[in-house]
Amino acid sequence: MKTNKTRTGGLLIALALLVSACVSATVDEPNVCSSSDLGTVPGAPVSGVAVPPQQFSTSQDLSEVLGKIGDVADNASARLTQLSLSSDNDLSWVSQVDVNVKGDSDDLPDRFLGTYRAAGSAVGNNLALDIKMDDASVQKYLNHPVTLTFTVSGTTTTQTNKLSSTLCAGASGDFSKSL
């Protein structure tokens, strides 16, 4: 009887240890990216002529995926890791790009998000924009579907440019759970 009680007690202790395991960890999602087409800039007969700024808008939604991190982690935070403008041709004709962001509610008004200024060197077909919004505000907007408006300034080019945008965010959070 004594032996059986000891074995049973040992098993119960082992099971209690297993079911009472604690996990304290940090989860990190390095990149969630959304790409979308912006529109086409037609080629011109003559290149190098200054043209008025053109606007292109697109909707992006990273909120569902970033929300999954928030469901798991206690203090999830999100950050913009990439905002870029791409083309199927060279973008050296672009002198300036300004991006505004607007959310899907009144408390997420139209605000300046990022910008690009040409430095005079060859750029290829991808422009990385500098983020000008603070992290806390970025996180507020990323938790909702947003509309990005790109204002593109530059000169004419003989090539047609199919423009697209890419928005990437990273998220991380801590969690402590008893299993």
Q: Closest distance between another protein and the C-beta of residue 178, in Å?
A: 10
Total number of residues that touch another protein (CB under 8 A): 23
Question: How many Cα neighbours within 13 Å face the side chain of 54?
Answer: 16
- For residue 87, what are the contacts with CB-CB under 8 A and spacing of at least 6? 125, 126, 161, 162, 163, 164
123 near another protein, rule: CB under 8 A: no
Question: Toward another protein, which CB reaches closer, 32 or 133?
Answer: 32
Report which secondary-structure segment, H or E, holds 105: none
Are 116 and 94 a contacting pair, CB within 8 Å?
yes
Q: Which of 34, 129, 39 has its CA nearest to residue 88?
A: 39
User: In the range 45-84, which residues lie near another protein by CB under 8 A?
Assistant: 62, 65, 69
Q: How far is the CB of 170 from another protein (least distance, A)?
A: 8
Instruction: Closer to another protein by CB, 31 or 47: give it.
Output: 31
DSSP-derived 3-state class of residue 63: helix
State in angstroms the smallest separation of the CB of 30 from another protein.
4
Q: Which of residues 12-41 bind another protein (CB under 8 A)?
A: 14, 17-18, 21-36
- Contacts with another protein, residue ranges (CB under 8 A): 14, 17-18, 21-36, 62, 65, 69, 170
